[in-house]
Amino acid sequence: MLIVMNPDATEPDIQRVVETIESLGFRAHPMPGSNRTAIGLTGNQGAVDPAPFAELPGVAECVRVTKPYKLVGRDLKHDKTVIRVGEAEIGGDGFAMIAGVCAVESREQAMLTAEVVAEMGCKWFRGGAFKPRTSPYAFQGLAEEGLKILSDVRDEFGLRIVTEAVDEPALDLTEKYADVIQIGTRNMQNFSLLRRAGQARKPVLLKRGMSSTLEEFLLAAEYIMSEGNYQVILCERGVRTFGDHSRFTPDLSVIPAAQRLSHLPIIFDPSHSTGNRETVIPMARAAVAVGADGLLVDVHPYPERALCDGPQALLFDMFRDLVAQARAIAEIVKQHSEAYSLGAVVK
């Protein structure tokens, strides 16, 4: 259920609803919006009787949410969620470019890459310190040493750090060093890890499971939010199909579909979805055109020697080119969506 407050409801009114929800053994999730606050109620197994809330001061209405997810949906929060870390944003007016190395391999490799990312005016740096590898013999990441290098990247260039936690011990560590905790495709339904991410007080970048439906994807985000962490960024990274011309099949159609159902921002990873640097830029362009809130891109100073995912890493000049193209397309998309939202006639 969700309890919609009147636009002029006061903080004590909201607090009273929260306390009433908690006194019944449920969990309250207040979501302030631009016009009014709505309070999500979770923890119930069946329908909840609205009577204890309906008469409380400031309550406009109690609405039953019929969708399986409650907190990620637009019913509870119509305004888009914007993730902010310092000056860096995802889901706001600007377009977010999260770029960097697949795996942090050395200080030199991370710093050289970060320099180019910062030079292009991007605000976010990606880099894995814990790598989920298909083979147990492949390079697994530098672990805490990699996190320290990422922390130095932040100090040196002011970039905000996105890095993956592959399990709970890794999450404990990444929470200390990262600005955004990434949950990879293979862990999208690792429910204990999702709950742990929900207890973290840092934003979580959740990648879509490579064979999951949109509903499963949104329910994975719901796991995180149900623990009280509302700062979730969705990321499409390709799904498994019979197509064998590309590492995975980028499902760009999920971007507008997710935006219609959810207030959470959604970005696209053209690197892991295509697996091939030659197709990264065309697919990234397409994702910006369908309205993605950002991109997550692998770049490498010498990809032929990369310890992980070299074939998909952009060379520095390709990355510079991609940033320019993505910005130009994002600007056009923004102008047109403003035209739509103002009700203007689009010719």
Residues near ligand PEP, by CB under 6 A: 102, 128, 132, 164, 184-185, 207, 237, 269, 272
The CB-of-269 to Mn ion minimum distance in angstroms stands at 9
Displacement of CA 233 from its chain's centroid (Å): 2
Contact 294, 95 (CB under 8 A): yes
Q: How many CA atoms lie within 13 A of 279 on its CB side?
A: 15
The CB-of-51 to ligand PEP minimum distance in angstroms stands at 45
The CB-of-279 to ligand PEP minimum distance in angstroms stands at 16
Nearer to ligand PEP, 1 or 296 (CB): 296
**Residue nearest ligand PEP, Cβ-based:** 184
Which of the listed partners (ligand PEP, Mn ion, none) does 58 bind, with a CB threshold of 5 to 8 Å by partner kind? Answer: none
Which of the listed partners (Mn ion, ligand PEP, none) does 184 bind, with a CB threshold of 5 to 8 Å by partner kind? Answer: ligand PEP
Nearer to Mn ion, 21 or 307 (CB): 307
Nearer to ligand PEP, 31 or 99 (CB): 99
Tell which residue, 186, 181, 266, 185, has the closest CA to residue 227.
181
By the 10 Å C-beta count (0-12 exposed, 13-18 middle, 19+ buried), 347 is classed as exposed
Nearer to Mn ion, 102 or 193 (CB): 102
The CB-of-102 to Mn ion minimum distance in angstroms stands at 4
Nearer to Mn ion, 76 or 98 (CB): 98
The CB-of-322 to ligand PEP minimum distance in angstroms stands at 17
Find where tokens 């890095």 sit: 163
Contact 172, 201 (CB under 8 A): no
Find where tokens 């406009």 sit: 60
Contact 127, 112 (CB under 8 A): no
Which of the listed partners (ligand PEP, Mn ion, none) does 237 bind, with a CB threshold of 5 to 8 Å by partner kind? Answer: ligand PEP
Could you give the CA distance from residue 177 to residue 152 in angstroms, rounded to a whole number? 10
Residues of the shown chain interacting with Mn ion in the complex, contacts defined by CB under 5 A: 102, 309
- Angle between helical axes of 168-177 and 191-199 (0-180°, round to 10): 30
Which of the listed partners (ligand PEP, Mn ion, none) does 236 bind, with a CB threshold of 5 to 8 Å by partner kind? Answer: none
Contact 249, 238 (CB under 8 A): yes
